[in-house]
Structure 1
């Protein structure tokens, strides 16, 4: 089983940094893709972060493992393997590794996750960091006070998300985007989860968008439909959320 340092060594070559063209320490948001892997909408969110004065780190969880889209659609998206509580180790490793960069303000980090990525973030926030939890040998070696904000885009909170109602161990600002026509959850279920996070002490803003799961991804696959106008709204809200967090 990887240590945090070993996991970061595997992830690092597959992390894309986007931000202002300077080398001064800036607040940084870590972006975690959905179960379908890296898609063209994540760089748009990275550019929104850049416009807000932040750096963005797009973390590819599949590249280091040699997994292609066909494999992950048929195994990860169906819950056969690599569930959120296993991927949570990637989140911890990315926090650890990016905090070492001189152009990152390690005291001001944010996490952003889409679907499966949001699930991984929520598992990391709620799981007890005992040895060998979250897919890594030493999860307790990463501190969370530097995490000032979390953006959850239609995070997976279905049957396999066993910890969805488990209180978080850290309480940053949260912007929770729920798709009103999500085939993987109801709005009621999402609001129950948001209320639990809020009750723990976090400031939670909830936005129910009138779209399907993955409406901001430029594809039409099964019950999912791209919605350009809602995508622009999501990008605007994301950038404003980061600006407010830094302020």
Structure 2
């Protein structure tokens, strides 16, 4: 079983870092893809973070494991393997690994997850983190104090997410995106989950997006449908959340 350090050693070669061209310690957003793997929308969110003076790390959970998109669609997206509690190990390892970088302000982090990635974040925030939990040997060894925000884009909170009503242990500020026509959950179920999180003392803002699951991912996979206008609004809301957590820091000028 991996330690968090060993897990990050596996993940880091496949993580993409985007941000200002300097070595200043900057607030950083960690972005976790949905069950279909890295898709074209995540770099847009990373660029939105860069525009606010943040760094972003897009963490690929599949490449280190040698999984193709087709394999993931047949196994992860169907709930057969690598459920949210297993993905949470990647979330914690990424927090630990990214926090150790000299160009990262470890006191100001945001975790962002889309669908399955949001599920993994929710498991990481609510788990008891005893040794061996979440598929890693030492899940309790990472300090979550620097995680000041979470962006949850239509997180998976369906029947397979059996821990969706488990109270959170770490409660950052949250922007939760609920898709009105999400075929994987009812709006009421999503609202119940977010209300439970709110009871732990977190500031939870919900945005009801009038679209489908994965509305911000360019694709053609009914019942999911891409919506550029909603995507633009999602990017704007994401950027404003980052700005609220840590105002833009000026880029380093010429020497």
Q: TM-score, normalised by structure 1?
A: 0.99
CA–CA distance in 2 between the matches of 1:13 and 1:184?
32
> Which residue pairs with 1:225 in the alignment?
225
**In structure 1, the residue corresponding to 2:220 is in which secondary structure?**
coil
Deviations 1:67-103 (A, max 9, x none): 0011000100000000010110000000010011100
Q: Does 1:106 align with 2:118?
A: no
1:162 deviates by: 1.2
CA–CA distance in 2 between the matches of 1:187 and 1:233?
20
State which drifts further: 218-227 or 148-157.
Answer: 218-227
CA–CA distance in 1 between the matches of 2:99 and 2:239?
21
> Which residue pairs with 2:155 in the alignment?
155
> Which residue pairs with 1:141 in the alignment?
141
CA–CA distance in 2 between the matches of 1:122 and 1:19?
26
1:222 deviates by: 2.3
CA–CA distance in 2 between the matches of 1:93 and 1:183?
31
Q: TM-score, normalised by structure 2?
A: 0.96
Q: Does 1:178 align with 2:178?
A: yes
CA–CA distance in 1 between the matches of 2:100 and 2:126?
24
CA–CA distance in 2 between the matches of 1:211 and 1:3?
39
**In structure 1, the residue corresponding to 2:225 is in which secondary structure?**
coil
1:160 deviates by: 1.2
1:35 deviates by: 0.1
Q: Does 1:29 align with 2:15?
A: no
Unaligned stretches of 5+ residues in structure 1: none
Paired residue total: 247
Divergent runs of 4+, >3 A: none
